[in-house]
Amino acid sequence: MTPEEKASDDKGKRNFAGINFGVGISLTFDTGKNSRIKAASIVDGIVRIDNEDDKIARVMLESHYFFLPDKKFLYLEGLDQGRWGWGPFVALQPGTEEIIEAVAVGVMLGFRRPKDETGSSWNVGLGYVTDPNVNILGDGFVANQPPPGNETAVRLKEISQDGVVLLFSFSF
């Protein structure tokens, strides 16, 4: 890779704690037993969920390491040795209210474009994600039920919740 290609490849990367991160787009599928509540209210004496979000699309910073097998990928033309790789990834979502809003780890496949010598690739990963600051209904509150005791406002509780993440990125 020439110095110009290396500089161009580094434009989309950021250094965080000594690790180079690129940008990826992800979709999280919540696997926790509680719904993520963004807003809830009490209407006519019943707890109503105004906004919940159990599938989350987000931009994440990701870093990966690829092993380069010495054979074709599924015997597909154009994906010869050195044109694809697989390996672990780590990703994080920096936040506005929290320093880190989510952390993910998993396995990623990377596919270099045929006849492209710059090293760029399209990558897809599947893994585990945890969100350390998820709002759920507070103790005693149940959706579509009366609030506990003499409560007049919905209380939310912050917990950590897990999910499955699908991550897409571009680079190699």
Q: What is the pTM of this model?
A: 0.75
Residue 79 domain-assigned? yes
Residue 84 domain-assigned? yes
Residue range 132-141, pLDDT digits in tens: 989 999 999 9
The residues of the chain scoring below 70 in pLDDT are: 1-19, 72-82, 114-119, 171-172
Residue 8 domain-assigned? no
Residue 12 domain-assigned? no
Residue 56 domain-assigned? yes
Residue 160 domain-assigned? yes
**Exposure on the CB side of residue 50, measured as CA atoms within 13 A:** 8
Total domains present in the chain: 1
Residue range 41-81, pLDDT digits in tens: 999 989 999 998 889 999 999 998 888 777 766 655 656 66
The answer to whether the CB of 69 falls within 8 A of the CB of 85 is yes
Residue 137 domain-assigned? yes
**Confidence at residue 65, expressed as pLDDT on a 0 to 100 scale:** 87
Q: What range does the domain containing 26 cover?
A: 21-170
What's the CA gap between 92 and 131, in Å, rounded? 10
Residue 158 domain-assigned? yes
The answer to whether the CB of 158 falls within 8 A of the CB of 37 is no
